[in-house]
Structure 1
Amino acid sequence: MDLSTSIAQSHQIPKSPVKMLHILLLFSFLLSSSPAAAKDFCVADFKATQGLAGYQCKVPEEVVVDDFVYSGLNVAGNFSDISKSTINTSFVDQFPGLNGLGLSMARLDLSLGGVIPMHSHPGSSEVLLVTQGSIIAGFISSNNIVYTKTLKKGDIMVFPKGLLHFQVNSGPVPALLWSSFNSSNPGLQVLSNALFSNNLPSELIEKVTFLDELEVKRLKALFGGSG
């Protein structure tokens, strides 16, 4: 073997990297040509039937810029006489452009002494940002360990998916909070409402909560429940 042949062979690209390059190019082509990759968004069609997978997509010809804009969080919602607070949500049910994007927001206003009662989001984790006032916030893990912290303006706290959590206004001024979720429909279940604002029989509530009859009746009356 002469010197030129030896040098040429030493500079040849090995076969395995070439095959790998071909595979990567093919994979890239398949991704770019797939229906999922070709669809930029799936604006919720509120007029269509909603299934277990969520809303169907609007036809592209009916999509408008307002589908991607929501102004409902520019004011506080209606305050509750019980909790002295309000939660104003921007979930997919109000904001069609969120459909399929895996994100949403909410505005929380707490007046003096206000509280966001114990609740959970079955479909999402949450990041909370305090922009006014100070609060005590916390959550309870599945093994009943409590994590609480006093948060001030600019502080954020994360609440893992599905865990019970709460916020209490601990300052001398109203508090304003903003929540971000990694789901377009995180869901919301308030513990006190689940127990006392429906027709769950009082006898069952007494058994599962160990509360006495008078206290259950008082709470049922407070939250508008029956039974």
Structure 2
Amino acid sequence: MAAAGAFSGVLLMMAHVVMLSSRVYADPDSLQDICVADLTSAVKVNGYPCKSNVTADDFFFSGIANPGDTNNSVGALVTGANVQKVPGLNTLGISLARIDYAPGGLNPPHTHPRATEVVFVLEGELDVGFITTANVLIAKSIKKGDIFAFPKGLVHYQKNNGDSPAAVLSAFNSQLPGTQSIAATLFAAAPPVPDNVLTKAFQVGTEEVQQIKSKFAPK
């Protein structure tokens, strides 16, 4: 009986160690060489399921070679090179984007909930900054050849205050960093955020809120 009790105790101890190990030492990396995203699959996982018919084109994208069209309301355009454009990035934890800015163009205040971002200035000069959770603005002017980092999840922006176009290459430590533009998130959500929430949050009237919402309405 004593031997059986001792054996049970050992089993319980081993189970406890396994549970601790699974919490603390779980393998965070991919367990295979590649897992090219099957973008057509209906399977829902944290990422994309792997497809079997892999080609070199799954790891290739030429979409950020040329400047994007900045003829829009903010004078800037982001061209992403994430897993949705480069399926071979699935499980690799990295992606890129090119951002082009017209003179005076702005990449409006936004966040990336799943990634830290580093920008490398290809052309021009930009005023950039991010805001900490203590509402402290960390800002700097950067020029061609400079880099600047935006910590994961913090609100940040880039503004071209020069007389010529500018462009940056952005790198993210996520295959799909996600973007939440603050203004669009609040004023163009579907279904819409209630006016009484926005009026109280921004300390303005309903007329002002509806006017801003109208600017984000689909054309």
When normalised by structure 1's length, the TM-score is 0.78
Distance 1:74 1:202, change over 3 A: same
Distance 1:92-1:206 versus aligned 2 partners, 3 A rule: same
Counterpart for residue 169 of structure 2: 178
2: CA distance between counterparts of 1:37 and 1:170?
Answer: 42
CA deviation string 1:52-111 (max 9, x = no partner):
31101112xx10010111111123344353211111111111110100000000010010
Q: Does 1:156 align with 2:147?
A: yes
1:121 paired residue among 90, 103, 112: 112
For 2:208, the equivalent position in structure 1 comes to 215
Q: Give 2:110's aligned amino acid.
A: H
Of 92, 103, 110, the match for 1:101: 92
* Distance in 1 (alpha carbons) for counterparts of 2:214 and 2:172: 33
Matched with 2:217 is: 224
Q: Could you say what secondary structure the match of 1:157 adopts?
A: strand
Alpha-carbon distance change, 41 to 174 in structure 1, aligned in 2, over 3 angstroms: same
Counterpart amino acid of 1:96?
A: P
2:76 and 2:100 in contact (8 A); partners too:
yes
Aligned equivalent of 2:22:
none
1:172 Cα deviation after fit: 1.5
User: What's the counterpart of residue 48 of structure 1?
Assistant: 41
**For 2:214 and 2:92, how far apart are their aligned partners in 1?**
40
In structure 2, the partner of 1:57 is 50
Task: Give ranges in structure 1 of 5+ residues lacking alignment.
Answer: 1-33
* SS of 2:57 mapped into structure 1: helix
Aligned to 2:121, the other structure's residue is in SS state: strand
Rg (Cα) greater in structure: 1
Provide the aligned length of Structure 1 versus Structure 2: 189
Aligned: 1:146 with 2:126: no
Q: What residue is the counterpart of 2:13 in the other structure?
A: none
For the aligned residue pairs, the C-alpha RMSD in angstroms reads: 1.8
State the Cα distance separating 1:213 from its structure 2 match: 2.5
Higher helix share: 1
Deviates more, 1:109-118 or 1:42-51: 42-51
SS at structure 1 position matched to 2:45? coil
Q: Is contact 1:49–1:55 with CA below 8 Å preserved after alignment?
A: no
For the Cα contact (< 8 Å) 2:30–2:91, is it kept in 1? Answer: no
